[in-house]
Structure 1
Amino acid sequence: MTRARREWTLAEPSVPPHLEPGDVSTLGDATTAGVDLTGAVVPELHEAQVENSDLGRLRAGGGQWERVTLADCRLDGADLANLVWRDGSLLRCSLREARMTGALLVGVRLRSTLLEGVQGTLTSWHGAQLRSVVLRGCDLSEATFTETVMEDVLLEDCVLTGAQLSGLRCRGVQLRGCRLDGIGGVAALRGARIAEEDAVALLPTLAREMGITIGD
């Protein structure tokens, strides 16, 4: 009996069509909903919760976020490069063509969130939890996944060249059309489903980690 192909479809964030202009100075230590923060500059943010809002092209590069929760928000085109984000949450959000190069996410939780076309080279996902997440067309080369949990996650057409997976825990994870050459800690993918053409790239790494020499 052939197993049915799973559909990986996430609902768009629930952002109202008409939003009030947002004031960055009022975000800290507060809950804010239904605001337009398009292009806002938010390098420092603490104890904030933003809901049902547009954060497209937001700029937080090189900043520090602590205990920031974003729910039903669009972060399409956001610049989060080198952001240090601790103990935060992304719930039912979208990040399309966002820039996350060198970002450090510590204890950040992602639920029902789409990352598409994200530039995420050299990102560090330390103690992060990804559940019901789709990563599509993302560049995660040389990313580090330390004590990261992935549950019901799809990685499709992503680049994971040189990524370090040691400590990653997988459940219900699927990889399709991904570049997996040179990854470390490949045993952490135990339990994941990998397309046949992707698995071929894993053979040299698997052999190396098992002490097997390929060749004459």
Structure 2
Amino acid sequence: MQYTDVADSALQRDELQDLIGRHSGPLRLIGVDLSGVDLSRMALDNWVFERCTLVQTSFLGSRLEGTQWKNCRASLAIFEAANLLEAQFHSCDLNNTRWQRSKLSQATFTQCKLTGANFTHCASLGLSFSETLLNSAFLSGLSFARSVLNNLDFSDSDLSDTDFRKAELVDCSLAHARINGANFAGADLRGADLSGFRLNDAKLFKGAVISKAQASILLSELGLSVA
């Protein structure tokens, strides 16, 4: 796919629309500052965003299918109700972003910061995260079933009603997460940090596999030890 490069500038919505009018294909924005700009309901399918500043930028209801986001700073950005099918995010700061009701099927997040992000009510079939901070995020109802989850920090996040069936967690943290209604049947939690949970929380992990060390921590509350 051929791109038209736009580099090292600060743009407003009307300037971006002018660029779209003058170029038939997708744009590749490199080092462009769009902080606080309202880009809601724009058609930006297959665009590439590299090292862009997108703090508080609004993509509400925008078409962002097949987009690529690399090393962008986009804290507090709004992606609500956007179409992000097969979008790829790599090494982006997406802290406190909003994704409610967005279409995220087959989207990928790698080495990203998503602290406090809100993913409630998303279409998330095939959505994947790797080596990503998701602490204090809102992930209620998402499905990670049959996935290998690598180096994810879910600490203090809302994982209520989340599907972890037959998932394998490798170097992950569930510390102090809210997991009411989550399904862990067949999940391998031996590579997860379960600190902050008490023995009476153990029923929430029904059907999961945990290690002897994890079981010992839970049982220690009763003054028991596993030999």
Under a length normalisation based on structure 1, what TM-score does the superposition of the two structures give? Answer: 0.72
One-letter amino acid of the structure 1 residue matched with residue 204 of structure 2: A
1:187 match: secondary structure: helix
Residue of structure 1 equivalent to 2:182: 168
Residue of structure 2 equivalent to 1:39: 51
**Cα pair 2:38 2:59 within 8 Å, conserved:** no
1:110 match: secondary structure: coil
Q: Which has the larger radius of gyration?
A: 2
Over aligned residues, Cα RMSD in angstroms? 3.1
One-letter amino acid of the structure 1 residue matched with residue 209 of structure 2: R
Which stretch of the first structure deviates more once superposed, 19-28 or 38-47? 19-28
**Cα pair 1:166 1:186 within 8 Å, conserved:** no
Structure possessing the higher relative contact order (Cα contacts under 8 Å, 6 or more residues apart): 1
Number of residue pairs the alignment of both structures matches: 193
Q: 1:8-46: per-residue Cα shift (whole Å, max 9, x none)?
A: xxxxxxxx6x55325788964355432212234263122
**Cα pair 1:112 1:131 within 8 Å, conserved:** no
**Cα pair 1:136 1:155 within 8 Å, conserved:** yes
Q: 1:66-112: per-residue Cα shift (whole Å, max 9, x none)?
A: 21232222201122111122112322232111001122221124333
Select the structure that is richer in strand. 1
Ranges in structure 1 where 5+ consecutive residues have no aligned partner:
1-15
Q: 1:146-197: per-residue Cα shift (whole Å, max 9, x none)?
A: 2323345332110222222112123553334111111364422222334555
Q: 1:115-143: per-residue Cα shift (whole Å, max 9, x none)?
A: 22211221122333444544211122112
**Cα pair 1:122 1:144 within 8 Å, conserved:** yes
**Cα pair 2:38 2:57 within 8 Å, conserved:** no
Residue of structure 2 equivalent to 1:191: 207
Residue of structure 2 equivalent to 1:214: 223
Question: How many percent of aligned residue pairs carry the same amino acid?
Answer: 20
One-letter amino acid of the structure 1 residue matched with residue 128 of structure 2: L
CA distance in 2, matches of 1:107, 1:165: 17
One-letter amino acid of the structure 1 residue matched with residue 127 of structure 2: T
CA drift of 1:202 comes to: 4.2
CA distance in 2, matches of 1:106, 1:159: 20
CA drift of 1:200 comes to: 4.1
Residue of structure 2 equivalent to 1:72: 86
Residue of structure 2 equivalent to 1:88: 102
Residue of structure 1 equivalent to 2:15: none
Under a length normalisation based on structure 2, what TM-score does the superposition of the two structures give? Answer: 0.69
